[in-house]
Amino acid sequence: MYRLHRYFTEIELQKTYDEIAKLQAEIKNVSAVAFEGNRSAQWPVGINPPFEPRSRFEVLKWEYFTEEEIYSCTDGSPKCELRGIDRMDVADVIDVAVGELNKKYIPVLHLKKQQLINGYRRFDPIRGMEYILDLQLEVVNQKGHSRSITKRVHLVRPLSQIEIIPMPYVTEATRVHIIIPLMMQVRSYVDHFLEVFAANAFETSENAILTFLFIYDPVEAHVKTETPSQIKFMDIISKKHPVDTLFFLANVDTRVNAEFLNRCRMNSINNWQVFFPIHFQDYNPDVAYHNQQRPATIDLVKDAGHFDRMSFEEACFYNSDYMATRTRMVADYSGLHVFRAVEPALHQQYRYQICNPRLSEDIYHRCVQSNLEGLGSRSQLAMLLFEQEQGNTPDTA
């Protein structure tokens, strides 16, 4: 039954593809007699036209790649190994290109890929991922004679059809309970936190309640206590609040403002979704502004800091969702959606984090990695090393 179903489904699918090809050919024929000629028909037929930049700052950037490497890396390196989903993407688009060429020229010619000479891709937010491939191909004719040629092909991986997903109703009027755990080593930062919070929340009558949770580690308490953690904090807080309470768990470095609190309300949906924002972390000013005057205010630019993907210290969620998820933690299962996104409204100053090795190995290594990535950009660190090496190099006559 499955084989029969697949067979007839493939027949219907092929009929659909043939109909699409027929419609595309008709569009091309009609466009030839249009006012602008063939230019009125966009390529590929049926796909949105390319994004048109309004200034040079909006020009989309092409990424250069080979079958092994890509010359546009997320960490700022000039070149890095092509791996994971990017490697699969390149391999797939090459296979599709060779397959489409064979469809066009078979049975007169048969083409086989020898190598990718050049590859370019860019993401167009309107139509999808665009590719330009320079392929070196072996061409074999019907007599068996072969030779090597170079062929440039253009491809587009279009965006899927946009679908509106129904979401539960949320409102910006919900009160947010801000929870700030405080340990002894960060108490000196409390005054600055309160100054910022007073200006952004108290003076604007923001619908929020601030709670400090004072935490003592075993050495300070002089008694046998457990190692502090976010879950243990929330186990205490959760029992003292109604189930419909909206929490924002943060730390003393978090600059709370009305813009973010509204996004906390909109992105946290009871019985549906929790929100883990990724804050913007300033680089170490001794590295970012080495031999320079430090600016009075820091903008969100790549040389000033980065979005700290290793940090999960801030979170927005409802108490009922926390309580339900807490009971399922042993099974490591929850029906909630987790929304994780960069949050420009959350901006933190640089501060070296004290990583507790008594916490889980994953949390400890994330903390260490966050400290390393927060020192400065690769170019800034490289310049410091270069200056250090120049200073240590003895003068030669």
- Percent of the chain beyond pLDDT 90? 43
When pLDDT is cut at 50, 70 and 90, the band that residue 396 belongs to is very low
Same domain, 182 and 152: no
Q: What is the pLDDT of residues 282-292, one digit of tens each?
A: 999 999 988 88
Q: Which domain holds residue 17?
A: 1-39
DSSP string, 336-370: -EEEEEEEEEEEE--------TTS-HHHHHHHHHH
Both 34 and 94 in one domain: the answer is: no
- Residue 132 and residue 13 share a domain: no
User: Is 263 part of a structural domain of the chain?
Assistant: yes
Of 125-129, 165-169, 216-220, 269-273, least confident by mean pLDDT is: 216-220
Lowest model confidence (mean pLDDT) among 72-81, 177-186, 245-254: 72-81
Lowest mean pLDDT of 24-28, 60-64, 257-261, 391-395, name the range. Answer: 391-395
Q: Mention every residue, 6+ apart, whose C-beta is less than 8 A from residue 21.
A: none
**Residue 286 sits in the same domain as residue 351:** yes
Q: What is the pLDDT of residue 284?
A: 93
pLDDT digits (tens, 9 = 90+) for 239-265: 999 999 999 999 898 889 999 999 999
Average pLDDT over residues 257-281: 93
Last residue of a domain, one of 130, 158, 186: 158
CATH code assigned at 153: 3.10.450.10
Mean pLDDT taken over the chain? 86
| d(C-alpha 336, C-alpha 328), whole Å | 12
Is the pTM for the entire model greater than 0.75? no
